Each structure stands twice: as structure tokens, then as C-alpha cells.
């Protein structure tokens, strides 16, 4: 599965979260996305200082949305929005933008420094 196809999967998971998880919370969906990304060899890469394949995406969001380069987690991502519903609308949009970024993926730019 390519990054582009994975972004479609993120879109569908966020569109109907209660279909795929018990309560449909943002953190349940993120856990599912993390698991699906880690099991797919074509999606993402473990970037510098990253513990998951989604770390590069979170770094990208941090660069796009914030000047502070401190550790940026799913908690900080969710806190950028007023509700889970708003986060569900923005996550697929941001991930698609990330997957189509000409500098994608973030970790390739910093790979030489690892």
C-alpha cells in the first residue's frame, strides 16, 4: 500500500470511526492507524527519534503548525482542535497533504543526520 492509498484509508477510518472501533474515539482510531502503518512495509519509515511510522507525519504537522520543535505527540495533535469530530476532519486532510508534499517524507530530509 502506498502513502497515497494509506491516506485514503485514514480518510475512511476518520469518516466513520465507530464502524472500526468500540467507541469511535480519536485515540482509538489513532491506535488503529498506528497499528496499520507499522504492519505495512510501504507506509512511512521510522524517522530519527521516532518510535512509530507515524512519527514523520507528526513532525511534519509540527513544522507546519508550530514553531516549537519539541516532542509533538497525538495528544498535542488532538489538542489543536476543539473536538474529536474536528480532529477527524483535519487528520485525513493533513495526512493527504503530507503524502503529497514534494519534500515528503520528512525523515528522508534528515536521514543523513541519523
Q: Which of 109, 23, 19 is nearest to 63 (CA)?
A: 109
Q: What is the mean pLDDT of residues 48-77?
A: 78
Q: Show the CA angle centred on residue 36, arms to residues 30 and 38, nearest 5°.
A: 100
Share of the chain above pLDDT 70, in %: 73
Beta carbons within 8 Å of 62's beta carbon, 6+ residues apart: 68, 69, 72, 76
How big is the CA angle at 26 (ends 85 and 17), to the nearest 5 degrees? Answer: 75
pLDDT of residue 89: 97
Instruction: Look at residue 102 and tell me whether its pLDDT is greater than 80.
Output: no
The pLDDT, as a whole number, for residue 108 is: 46
Q: Residue 32 pLDDT > 70, yes or no?
A: yes
State the pTM of this model.
0.80
Summary mean pLDDT of the chain = 81
Determine the average pLDDT of the residues in 74-91. 95
| pLDDT (mean) for 11-27 | 96
Amino acid at each position: 500500500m502506498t502513502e497515497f492509498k494509506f491516506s485514503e484509508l485514514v480518510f475512511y477510518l476518520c469518516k466513520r470511526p465507530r464502524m472500526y472501533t468500540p467507541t469511535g474515539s480519536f485515540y482509538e482510531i489513532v491506535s488503529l492507524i498506528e497499528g496499520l502503518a507499522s504492519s505495512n512495509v510501504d507506509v512511512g519509515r521510522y524517522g530519527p527519534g521516532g518510535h512509530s511510522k507515524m512519527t514523520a507525519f507528526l513532525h511534519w504537522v509540527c513544522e507546519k503548525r508550530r514553531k516549537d520543535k519539541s516532542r509533538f505527540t497525538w495528544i498535542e495533535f488532538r489538542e489543536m482542535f476543539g473536538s474529536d469530530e474536528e480532529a477527524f476532519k483535519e487528520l485525513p486532510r493533513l495526512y493527504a497533504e503530507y503524502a503529497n508534499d514534494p519534500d515528503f517524507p520528512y525523515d528522508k530530509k534528515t536521514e543523513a543526520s541519523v
